[in-house]
């Protein structure tokens, strides 16, 4: 973070994702004086951080991080074009915009890293997939990884083509889990539980199972087997959920494919 602290970091857009990242960096020791934020509607929290908001930018920042919605990109990026084709690394967490699109806007000598975080970043439990363009060297990838590790785990992709699948699995994936919690709680209600109790059970069960899956040495498959007694209650439920035609295998395959295909459409692929 030393180079970032010395040269500065520009954050374009500070909504929920931008705020989560900024909070992680400041907690990690990045000085507020090294951060410039461009956002038309700064929150009260942002104003309280001590970072520069909508002020003149440093001449040669280490990083410009783009965290605005894709539809706002056309208005936001031209003001930063002067930093393209130089030493400034551009990192984008905007979904559906390719490295080639940024090169067209900023210049093809610009180092660019495209990243796909997810919403658990808000509590430091996100996972972010990274891919760099041809101008991004090892030092750029290391700098991007160091910055984004403030909001959770990071993984590096082998090719930008994988980003659509990542969108379908981890980018959109938290919404699938939230819907699982909703429907699990509703199923508990249908079996006679009070709504608030059913929801508490559903939230804790999904959160606990996820934490166990990450912490355990066994695979999720083995963890499933461990809790499935022959002819018991769990097996009865899994026979429904694991049905190849109507259960999770078919359903999630179609859901992830739908998200990945929509990602391709949005990025013009």
pLDDT of residue 28: 87
State the pTM of this model.
Answer: 0.90
| Residue range(s) of every CATH 3.40.50.720 domain in the chain | 2-162
The region of weakest confidence among 23-27, 214-218, 253-257, 265-269 is 265-269
Instruction: Tell the CATH superfamily of the 2-162 domain.
Output: NAD(P)-binding Rossmann-like Domain (3.40.50.720)
| Residue range(s) of every CATH 1.10.3730.10 domain in the chain | 173-266
Mean pLDDT to the nearest integer, 127-132: 98
pLDDT band at 178 (very low <50, low <70, confident <90, very high): very high
pLDDT tens for 9-68 read: 999 999 988 999 999 999 989 999 999 999 999 999 999 999 999 999 999 999 999 998
The region of weakest confidence among 94-108, 144-158, 166-180 is 94-108
Please determine, looking at this structure, whether the domain spanning 173-266 carries the CATH number 1.10.3730.10: yes
pLDDT of residue 266: 80
pLDDT of residue 155: 98
For every residue of the chain, which 3-state class applies, written as one string?
A: CHHHHHHCEEEECCCHHHHHHHHHHHHCCCCHHHEEEECCCCCHHHHHCCCEECCCCCCCCCEEEECCCHHHHHHHCHHHHHHCCCCCEEEECCCCCCHHHHHHHHCCCCCEEEEECCHHHHHCCEEEEEEECCCCCHHHHHHHHHHHHHHEEEEECCCHHHHHHHHHHHHCHHHHHHHHHHHHHHHHHHCCCCHHHHHHHHHHHHHHHHHHHHHCCCCHHHHHHHCCCCCCHHHHHHHHHCCCCCCHHHHHHHHHHHHHHHHHHHCCC
pLDDT band at 179 (very low <50, low <70, confident <90, very high): very high
Find the Cα–Cα–Cα–Cα dihedral 185, 203, 45, 71, rounded to 10°. Answer: -60
């Amino acid at each position: 973070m030393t180079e970032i602290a010395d040269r500065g970091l520009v954050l374009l857009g500070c909504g929920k994702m931008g705020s989560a990242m900024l909070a992680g960096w400041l907690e990690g020791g990045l000085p507020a004086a090294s951060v410039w934020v461009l956002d038309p509607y700064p929150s009260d929290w942002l104003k309280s951080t001590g970072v520069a908001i909508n002020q003149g930018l440093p001449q040669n920042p280490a990083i410009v991080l783009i965290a605005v919605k894709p539809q706002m990109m056309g208005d936001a990026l031209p003001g930063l074009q002067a930093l393209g084709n130089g030493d400034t690394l551009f990192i984008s967490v905007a979904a559906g915009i390719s490295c080639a699109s940024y090169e067209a806007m900023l210049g093809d000598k610009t180092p660019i890293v495209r990243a796909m975080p997810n919403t658990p970043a808000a509590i430091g439990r996100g996972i972010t997939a990274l891919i760099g363009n041809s101008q991004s060297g090892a030092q750029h990838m290391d700098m991007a990884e160091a910055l984004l590790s403030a909001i959770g785990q990071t993984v590096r992709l082998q090719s930008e083509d994988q980003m659509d699948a990542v969108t379908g699995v981890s980018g959109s994936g938290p919404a699938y889990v939230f819907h699982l919690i909703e429907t699990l709680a509703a199923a508990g209600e249908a079996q006679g539980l009070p709504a608030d109790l059913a929801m508490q059970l559903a939230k804790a069960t999904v959160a606990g199972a996820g934490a166990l899956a990450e912490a355990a040495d066994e695979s999720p498959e083995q963890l499933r087997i461990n809790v499935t007694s022959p002819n018991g209650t769990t097996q009865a439920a899994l026979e429904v959920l694991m049905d190849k035609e109507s259960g999770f295998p078919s359903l999630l395959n179609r859901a992830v494919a739908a998200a990945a295909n929509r990602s391709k459409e949005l990025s013009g692929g």
